[in-house]
Amino acid sequence: MTADAGKPAPRGTAPDLFDKFQPLIDQREALLSTGVTDPFNLVMERVESPTVAICNGKRTILLGTYNYMGQTFDPQVLAAGKKALDEFGSGTTGSRVLNGTYQGHRECEEALKRFYGMDHAMVFSTGYQANLGIISTMAGKDDYVILDIDSHASIYDGCALGNAQIVAFRHNDVEALEKRLKRLPAEAGKLVVLEGVYSMLGDTAPLKEMVAVSKAAGAMVLVDEAHSMGFIGEHGRGVAEEQGVLDDVDFVIGTFSKSVGTVGGFCVSNHPKFEILRLVCRPYVFTASLPPSVVATAATSIDLLRGAKDKRDHLWANSKRLHGGLKQLGFTLGTETPQSAIIAVIMPDLERGAAMWEALLQEGLYVNLARPPATPAGMTLLRCSLCALHSEEQVGEILGMFEAAGKRVGVI
């Protein structure tokens, strides 16, 4: 080996690995040159409550968080976190399998089992890792994963990590799913992956029909209920509960970063062999476990969500009013009817979407600007996520802000 080994290749002989990002760099620079605030770099300087923060020195109503049930400032949740921080320290420093399973992790899994009425629960460090881990571990090289084309990136990444054969079908199309299932080899392992609520448009899946055709084909079913937990279904167990098919679902995946109000991910299941996953699931084994304060806040919050019917009712009322109000103002929405806490306002293009986002921020309202490739069909949209703690007055304020900003930008 010569002394030159390890030095970068001389200029001009190898491509700059950043070249592939140039179109995105150009698009971002063009957008920012119009003078808009960077929509992907907003800093909340102070958070006053689940619905209000100070952004750029201004009081801003938050309509772009996933804090659907407003749990982030619940006094019981905060007290549980502080107690665990004092008693167990700031972090576990290790993996669940070796040195990172604390009493709090077990209690959190017990809370999940109570919440879903299921036999097994496994807590991951994020929701992303829960999908990555379960899908890649369950579906190996000769198995098939059948997924909705609009599936979340964590689902696609779980497929890529596991080397399974991947079959996509058109969004929410039961017939397309059934047709593909029937063409797969009868003897092959099959995992159908669905989501309860699709986060970009806020639409729900026809799980009743989809689970039925999947089971008829001998497939196992995984449903990601990240955006429905706590809110949809009589006990807040999600779209599968609401449509009466929770018992037929093999795996429910969820997150603590939305309705639960902290960070983390999980999988619950009734499968009798489920516990073996703790030894074979790489995104569970090879990562640090959640800090004790986080699992303590999660466990407390999950128990509180079970009895949160009043909050669920209020959130549905907010969703119906905002959806109806925006429609009446002349905005184009992602769904005909309110189906979840997410209301997507479709923008004509990225430029006007960014201008509208900026105008809303000036009015004192924060929403998410979403654009391809995160969105389906090349759409640019403003994604509004309601919280159970938005007051009636705030929903009225939000509609007023949309009207003012929409007229100023020329979207309505």
Using CB under 8 A as the binding criterion, the count of chain residues that bind other proteins stands at 18
Question: Within positions 299 to 358, which residues make up the interface with other proteins, using CB under 8 A?
Answer: none
Closest CA to 238 of 191, 199, 204: 204
The C-alpha atoms of residue 362 and residue 60 are separated, in whole angstroms, by 9
Can you give 321-346 as a three-state secondary structure string?
HHHHHHHHHCCEECCCCCCCCEEEEE
Closest CA to 172 of 226, 210, 131, 201: 210
Q: Check binding of 274 to other proteins (CB under 8 A).
A: no
Residue (184 or 212) nearer to other proteins, CB: 184
CA triple 284-286-289, angle to 5 deg: 60
- Of these, 165, 172, 214, 375, which contacts other proteins (CB under 8 A)? 165
The C-alpha atoms of residue 189 and residue 143 are separated, in whole angstroms, by 5
CB of 159 to other proteins, least distance (A): 8
The C-alpha atoms of residue 260 and residue 108 are separated, in whole angstroms, by 12
CB of 132 to other proteins, least distance (A): 17
- Strands in 368-370's sheet, in edge-to-edge order, are 332-333, 342-347, 380-385, 368-370
The C-alpha atoms of residue 262 and residue 299 are separated, in whole angstroms, by 10
Q: Check binding of 36 to other proteins (CB under 8 A).
A: no
CB of 346 to other proteins, least distance (A): 16
x-or-dash pattern for other proteins, window 123-162, by CB under 8 A? ---------------------x----x---------x---
Residue (54 or 176) nearer to other proteins, CB: 176
- N-to-C CA span, the chain: 68
CB of 277 to other proteins, least distance (A): 24
CB-count burial class (<10 Å; 0-12, 13-18, 19+) for 174 = middle
Residue (116 or 169) nearer to other proteins, CB: 169
CB of 167 to other proteins, least distance (A): 5
Question: Within positions 171 to 190, which residues make up the interface with other proteins, using CB under 8 A?
Answer: 176, 179-180, 183-184
The C-alpha atoms of residue 221 and residue 219 are separated, in whole angstroms, by 6
Question: Within positions 382 to 401, which residues make up the interface with other proteins, using CB under 8 A?
Answer: none
CB of 194 to other proteins, least distance (A): 17
Place of tokens 């669920």: 312
CB of 21 to other proteins, least distance (A): 18
CB of 215 to other proteins, least distance (A): 19
Phi, psi for residue 7 in degrees, rounded to 5: -75, 150
Residue (11 or 183) nearer to other proteins, CB: 183
Residue (376 or 400) nearer to other proteins, CB: 376
Question: Within positions 353 to 382, which residues make up the interface with other proteins, using CB under 8 A?
Answer: 373, 376-378
Q: Check binding of 166 to other proteins (CB under 8 A).
A: yes
| Binding positions for other proteins, rule: CB under 8 A | 144, 149, 159, 165-170, 176, 179-180, 183-184, 373, 376-378
